[in-house]
Amino acid sequence: MFRKTPLCLLLTLLIGITAASAQVQPKYGHMNLGNLLESMPETKKANDMLKVFADALSAKDDSLTKAFQGAYAQLEKEYNAGQLTPVQAQQRQAELQKQQEEIQKFEQDAQQAVAAKREELLKPILTKVEDAVKVVAKENGYLMIFDTSSGAMLFANETDDVVALVKKQLGM
């Protein structure tokens, strides 16, 4: 009877270690966030809205640039025809310099406005995806899910692509 007890203890211990090691195996997943975002209708709508916004700013920039070019051509024409005194030419040139600086400031402000609008439009979409990824990770026992679109993935042999699960969670 004493001989069976150590054998039973040893078997129980081995079964427990095997079961514990099977549960300890971390589960990793990966997905291409860029491709997922591209496939979402919300992203297309946001990009369309951003394009309209950027096009409006671009049209205003074009208008300001054309006005500047016209004023410059007029100044050059009048100066070459001898219709302006040196003082008048200098004043008009200063006005054109100011106009050019205003155009440059507008272009910088427009770039910042487009970046801010992009963030405003994409933030709710990214939050929605992030929430879906968290749900998928918790429901499926993933320790980590990597974004392969960022280039941070060095090795993905033993991971699962979870984009289908995230799309399901998003109702796509």
What mean pLDDT is predicted for residues 35-49?
95
Does a structural domain hold residue 114?
yes
Give residue 47's domain range: 24-170
Does a structural domain hold residue 3?
no
Does a structural domain hold residue 72?
yes
Does a structural domain hold residue 15?
no
Say what the pTM is. Answer: 0.70
Q: What is the overall mean pLDDT for the chain?
A: 84
Q: At what angle do helices 86-140 and 41-80 cross, to 10 degrees?
A: 170
Share of the chain above pLDDT 70, in %: 81
Quote the pLDDT of residue 142: 83
What mean pLDDT is predicted for residues 138-149?
85
Tell me: pLDDT of 156 over 80.
no
Q: Which residues pair with 104 in a beta bridge?
A: none
Residue with more model confidence, 7 or 45: 45
| Whole-number Å distance between alpha carbons of 100 and 122 | 33
Q: For residue 88, what is the domain's CATH number?
A: 3.30.910.20
What mean pLDDT is predicted for residues 119-148?
90
**Torsion on CA atoms 85, 88, 92, 94, rounded to nearest 10:** 110
What mean pLDDT is predicted for residues 129-145?
87
Does a structural domain hold residue 164?
yes
**Torsion on CA atoms 84, 88, 91, 96, rounded to nearest 10:** -20
Tokens (6 digits) for 160: 């699962």
Does a structural domain hold residue 104?
yes
Whether 34 contacts 146, CB under 8 Å: no
What mean pLDDT is predicted for residues 74-99?
93
Does a structural domain hold residue 17?
no
Between CA 50 and CA 97, with CA 103 as vertex, the angle to 5 degrees is 175
Does a structural domain hold residue 67?
yes
Q: Which residues pair with 28 in a beta bridge?
A: 144
Tell me: pLDDT of 52 over 90.
yes
Pairing of strands 28-31, 144-147: parallel
Number of domains present in the structure of the chain: 1
Whether 167 contacts 133, CB under 8 Å: no
